[in-house]
Homo-oligomer: A and B are copies of this chain.
């Protein structure tokens, strides 16, 4: 018989149907990713092709000049933006009516974080120091954009592989800002606030405390961060990366915490790549809206969601309830142990 599990923080139920369980190998794609060159002449994100993107809004560089080569990381506007910054929206985001319906202009920033000069790198092949540069860029853009009320909510995400929605192979992630807090996010904030009202603690802090004690679903841990498979994971090998220190917004993270965050993120993605044959995945950074950075009930974190030949079908669309065929405890064990079975790694301890 299957089991229903509820996520303590989001109050979403999932169905865990692990009778149909598959082994990690069953998820590995039959067609491995094609190898990439260090530099791809036609890639708009490769060094030397800077003129093919919009002007950089942020760059980390040891040499070279703006919009030329020599960078370690660049942030540029998305060439096909879903939202665009506009002076019309500078003061207040304006709604209008179309019949009975609300509408507004698509104001917001939509940017690409070009994570590394080398075309063939992934977060799982970069060094921890290189991953840290990416997180620094997230943090800087958060602080540069947040004061504008049109950027109330920042969504940072990474689509890796075609199944995850990526159209370019060059390592990159994206950010989008909106002047609204969408229903999906508001619901999570509301459920966390209800929990805080009832229990007096942040539900994410309580999850963290329990996971550290139970030690059944931990993938890796360091001084500042925990990576674990959530009790009510909605998909096989889903992982949550959570800072041990309570903060609603990742914008509150200090410089000293970035190395631990980078090591945790890199370690999680190395394990995923080794265990499941470098699968496509999405990650999203969930953080409170800028104006709620100090609330005691929300806790920023990252969700890492591999794409593993599983489909969000009619039942999931209709009910919002996911069906997961891999027990979170088994997924965590496999992810935790994968590096030791292939010879170990420096950050395995």
Contact = CB atoms under 8 A, between A and B. Distances in A.
Given A101-B231, A183-B11, A313 B159 contact: yes
A17 B82 contact: yes
Contacts of A83: 2, 15
Contacts of A207: 100
Which of A158, A187, A319 has most B Cβ within 10 Å? A319
Contact of A104 (B3, B99, B284): B3
B82 A164 contact: no
Contacts of A12: 182-184
B101 A155 contact: no
Given A314-B159, A317-B157, A1 B184 contact: no
A165 interface: yes
A282 B313 contact: yes
A101 B232 contact: yes
Contacts of A303: 317-318
Nearest to A105: B1
Given A183-B187, A183-B320, A283 B314 contact: yes
Contact of A8 (B100, B174, B321): B100
A312 B313 contact: no
A157 to B, nearest CB: 3
27 contacts: A1-B106, A2-B83, A2-B84, A3-B103, A4-B103, A4-B106, A5-B103, A8-B101, A8-B102, A12-B182, A13-B180, A15-B106, A17-B81, A17-B106, A99-B210, A101-B210, A101-B231, A101-B232, A155-B318, A158-B314, A165-B314, A173-B314, A174-B315, A182-B321, A184-B319, A282-B317, A285-B318
Interface of A: 1-6, 8, 10-13, 15-17, 20, 80-84, 86, 98-107, 153, 155-159, 163-166, 173-174, 176, 178, 180, 182-185, 187, 191, 206-207, 210, 214, 231-232, 282-286, 303, 305, 311-315, 317-321, 323
